[in-house]
Amino acid sequence: MPTKPLLKTLLKSLGAALLVTALALLFLNTPIPRQIGLSARYDLFIPLALLIVFNALVLNLPGMLGQLLGPVYVMLLFALPLSGLWASGTSEQYVMAGTIPNSDAMLYYIDALRFLEGGYVTQISGDKPFTTALNAGLLGAAHYNLLITLAVILVLAALPAYLATRELQRTHGTGAASVFLIIILLFARRFTGTLMAENLGLCFGLLAFVFLWRYANPGPAGAERQAGWLVPGMGVLTLALLTRLGPFFILPLLLLWITGTSVRTYGLKWSWQTWKVPLLVLAAMLLVSGISRVIINLSAGPDAVTSTQFTIHLYSLVSGGQYWGLLETDHPELMQLTGNAYIIKALQICWSVFAQHPAGVLEGIGRNYATYFGDPMRGEYSYIDGASDPVNQAARLACFLLAGAGLAFLFLRRSRPIRWLVALCFAGMFLSIPLVPPISTYKLRLMAATLWIQALLPALAVSWLVSLLPERVKKWQARFPAFPEVSAWPAAFFALLLLAALTVAPLAVRLTARATPLPQAACPAGEQTVFLRTAPGTYGELVSQDDPRQGWQPYIRLAYFKIKVHNLGEMTLFPTFEALEQPTALLEGMDLVTHQEILVFAPAELYSQKPGVVLVCGNYRKDPPPYTEDMFFARSVQDLNIP
């Protein structure tokens, strides 16, 4: 593309991204009835019916109107579930009281704060360097405002979903694109409003799909130029799988296909023409892996233990598909090791278990495939829910059948690139299942980076079914104005800028981070001293049923909170929350002295909600059961006027 049109496309893309981000912030700060957002987050029938109608209308809008409203519409689809979360103050696995991070999301949040204070992140964040860079970078730029951070993360998932939907619409029509978008949204809606790695993994996975699909479906510019899309496609796909560890076998299969295609086209000879694309693809993959290693060194330290998920899942596999955390439970001595020593020792343990009981691998493989195809909570399309169990099962079965029809449709087409691309991606995902065990998580979240494969197959089947419609229906469809085609260059700009930001952010944090200067202060005798930074999104105020403020974060009905807190995964938390009777402020963050997580319970009248550092006096819970060690009960909260 010539320089001037390329620059124009870049400026338009930046403008659209900024507009969508601004509208997302505006929408999420506009209280709407909680039932609307909660239905979008948890229901099946109502969102599905509305999506079918509105997708057909909005995705077919012509010209500039379609280009303007399309990304805004997709952003609203992603924002509605988050709006329901903030309006109700509900709790679920990774969120408490609407905004407060919980479980793994809480660990990512505390690690980001620890990094911003000049410390090093723990093992869980060290395994996900790009998520660490994103969370720390956004929190630092937003001055710890968690609400702004979550809104930007939402946009980072919504814009690639729009671009991927348009890319599929370009080649297979609105029906296929609509099904694709619906499946993506049904998966993504449970992660909006969280700091989980699935959001960024989904973002990069969808961008990789845009590039790979553009190669497999060349435009009028010609196949040779289109082959260039393989370089960002494979680089960004590697980035997606490093962000949310997933089915890595896709990468070598696609690399072999790209190499074979180049050799078949130009001959097996030592020439730049033959090896240009394979070598550039490999260079892009290695570059992304190198950046990942640099971020790990900056955020977790040079002796950090990384790649632990692989060894954990490998041990689970050779043990017959047992509990995913069994490795460190059976061998606590691993927790004393750092760097490569951990990985080497873990691999030795896995080999020892395999040597003693080789059949355990087969048992583990069988259990994971049985889970993938048969478990309604962990298997394929398990994220399609929100109705009664029979209806959920019927919806998943329909997706299974459509996916099978989509695979069959591939082999009826003459287009070899499409056939090989999708078939090899599906094969890589299928072969990876034992090492990306669905048995270890719910809703198939380990597949976030390649979720587009699961969405693509039913979409291809829908395209095929639409082609079978009677001619008179096709003529009626032809009366609609042409929908706007979106270039792949906005996706390229988006991916490049995001990768650059994720590379620079941890370096900037490491160079500029300093521990917050704290005053010499002490609490009365018998009370413990805690310094804590509060910001919007990190606290919630539990109020009475008749409080006029309830209905939007941070004000949550106490009675409602006590019911929904049972959605959290740690049962030992429930008695403490159930005992609350008076209006209470919940403050979550990091103790600025010990750099450990803390959850403060304070009488509501003590907390002013002024962002900044506060001095909290009180006591930790005595003799706590598991998962309640960080509970702190405040007797006073003092603003220190430290931003």
| Predicted pLDDT at 521 | 85
What token pair was written down for 72? 């805004």
Q: Provide the number of structural domains found in the chain.
A: 2
- Which of 318, 333, 357 marks a domain boundary? 357
> Residues in the chain with pLDDT < 70?
1-4, 218-225, 413-415, 472-482
Q: What is the mean pLDDT of the chain?
A: 90
Does residue 598 sit within a domain?
Answer: yes
| Predicted pLDDT at 224 | 47
* Residue 439: count of CB within 10 angstroms of its CB: 23
| Predicted pLDDT at 475 | 61
| Predicted pLDDT at 222 | 45
- Which of 316, 332, 357 marks a domain boundary? 357
pTM given for the model: 0.94
Look-up of token digits 């699935």: 198
Q: Which domain holds residue 314?
A: 308-357
Give tens-digit pLDDT for 400-455: 999 999 998 887 766 678 889 999 999 999 999 999 999 888 889 999 999 999 99
| Predicted pLDDT at 640 | 92
What's the 3-state SS for 281-303?
HHHHHHHHHHHHHHHHHHHHCCC
Does residue 27 sit within a domain?
Answer: no
| Predicted pLDDT at 40 | 94
Dist. CA 313–CA 322, nearest whole Å = 9
Of 167, 185, 183, nearest in space to 77 by CA: 185
What token pair was written down for 221? 């510019």
Does residue 275 sit within a domain?
Answer: no
Does residue 329 sit within a domain?
Answer: yes
DSSP 158: H
| Predicted pLDDT at 274 | 84
% the chain with pLDDT above 90: 65
- Which of 328, 357, 386 marks a domain boundary? 357
Does residue 216 sit within a domain?
Answer: no
| Predicted pLDDT at 223 | 42
Dist. CA 122–CA 165, nearest whole Å = 36
The region that residue 345 occupies, defined by phi over 0 for left and psi between -120 and 50 for alpha, beta otherwise, is alpha
In sequence order, the 6+-apart residues with CB closer than 8 A to the CB of 443 are 187, 190, 377, 378, 382, 383
Give tens-digit pLDDT for 342-400: 888 999 999 999 999 999 999 999 999 999 999 999 999 999 999 999 999 999 999 99
Does residue 573 sit within a domain?
Answer: yes
| Predicted pLDDT at 411 | 79
Does residue 446 sit within a domain?
Answer: no
- End-to-end CA separation in angstroms for the chain: 47
Does residue 330 sit within a domain?
Answer: yes
